[in-house]
Amino acid sequence: MGLSCKYKKWVLLANYLDKSLIRTLLAFKISRIIGLEFTTRCEPVDLIMNGNFRGNYLICVQIEMKEGRVDIEEITEDDETGGYLIEIDARAASEEKYFRTNKGIIIEIKYPDSDDITQEQEQYIKQFMDILEKNAYNGNLTYIDYDSFYKYFLMQEFCADIDSVLSSFHMTKRKGDDKLYFGPDWDYDRAFDNDIRLIPTNQKSKFVLYYGDSSGTTRQFIITILETKNIMSNINKTWIILKENGLDSETLKLFIEDKKDLLYESGNLNNLRWYGNKIGNGIKDYFDYVDVVINYIEQRFDTLSKIINNYSKDLEIYNECIVAWTTSCQKFLCEEILKRDKTRACFQYFLSDANRGKGTHICIDNKDTNSQKACKEVSKYPPQNPSPIILIFIVILYFLLILLTN
């Protein structure tokens, strides 16, 4: 199958939700094109027990800290700085070793193993994540590896993984390195237009992370990173570079074409095994389910580019109005809210008082149906009062005009 036999641990990954049997395979292909580290390898297999077909699965190299897998230096007793393999997972509370950050992200410690990890190591990784989180919310991303974050975020959004901030969100902390690295990624059976909360994904105007469930405050944590200065512009640059260096629809469609003939018989048997003869909405056989993925890919490049650009524009408006809350800015803001697709769940407006010593934080719900309401809310807050010097100047001009007209 092209998989090394030197490893002892493997995973049978279910394909029950993916009638095309190709979504996770395609995602890992994309991950390798993008250059995410430690992308696992899988091959499709038919599971037969006692002569009975039990469905199609993926046999995958398990994500674990090993040479050739997640290949980073292992932790030692004399150096607790790394390496760690951790996973954001809403179900982590049922595991032996997990923790919550100060703001509520639920994280499982995958490595060191629960039998081997010391109390000091456990405390270290929690403290590291708390410090990273606090800094991120204050606009300081010192502890985040930018390159892996950009690629991991674009991977999730391109594939439209509805569970991107819920589970299987892996990260690593390496020995002697104060950065958090994002990845490796995992299963994508709900991705590529395969979840009712998103379908049709390419008609959505916001990032996918806004639509699914979140493990604790993970969604807000990612949004906070996105809203940090220069992050969106750098994500856009990374997106352009990736498209220029192998990530294109033709490459992905060729990969799908190469796999679909191999999977045809398994696909029909698998869908019969799990879904019986429930076929509708123009679906006739396995190839039609594959076409759903192909159609998604053909549209996704343009759709994601528009979402990135619109999100970036919204952030520009947001930042402009923090710096100068004026009548013209207020009018401009309202016009933008009304005319543009809404790419954020919430706009934030900061109104400074006369001495600029304090700031009042106003958060206005800006969902598609409430743009008029948002504009009315903004108009309730007048711009800053002019300074006394400006008022005196205006009064003098007024009297001068009266004298001149007489």
pTM of the model: 0.78
Using the 3D structure, point to which of 204, 233, 249 is the last residue of a domain.
249
Domain contains 301: no
Domain contains 290: no
CB 173 within 8 A of CB 84: yes
Q: For the chain, how big is the Rg over CA atoms in Å? A: 26
Domain contains 300: no
Using the 3D structure, point to which of 226, 249, 272 is the last residue of a domain.
249
Residue showing tokens 């934030």? 348
CB 199 within 8 A of CB 295: no
Question: Can you give the residue range of the structural domain that contains 380?
Answer: 324-406
- The answer on 32 and 157 residing in a single domain is yes
Using the 3D structure, point to which of 249, 272, 291 is the last residue of a domain.
249
- The answer on 150 and 14 residing in a single domain is yes
68-105 core/surface letters (b: 16 or more CB in 10 A; e: else): ebbebeebeeeebbbbbbbbbbbebeeeebbbbbebeb
Query: Residue 168, by phi and psi: left (phi above 0), alpha (psi -120 to 50) or beta?
Result: left
Domain contains 334: yes
Domain contains 140: yes
Read off the pLDDT of residues 190-248 as tens digits, 9 standing for 90 and up.
Answer: 999 999 999 999 999 999 999 988 888 999 999 999 999 899 999 999 999 999 999 99
More confident site: 378 or 165? 165
Domain contains 299: no
Model pLDDT, residue 326: 44
- The answer on 347 and 204 residing in a single domain is no
Domain contains 263: no
Give me the number of domains the chain comprises: 2
- The answer on 329 and 231 residing in a single domain is no
- The answer on 206 and 79 residing in a single domain is yes
- The answer on 134 and 233 residing in a single domain is yes
- The answer on 43 and 150 residing in a single domain is yes
CB 263 within 8 A of CB 286: yes
129-151 core/surface letters (b: 16 or more CB in 10 A; e: else): bbebbeebeeeebebbbbbbbbb
Distance of CA 290 to the CA centre of its chain: 25
Residue 123: pLDDT above 80?
A: yes
- The answer on 329 and 241 residing in a single domain is no
Model pLDDT, residue 114: 86
Domain contains 279: no
Question: Model confidence at 296, in pLDDT bands (50, 70, 90)?
Answer: very high
- The answer on 74 and 172 residing in a single domain is yes
- The answer on 181 and 42 residing in a single domain is yes
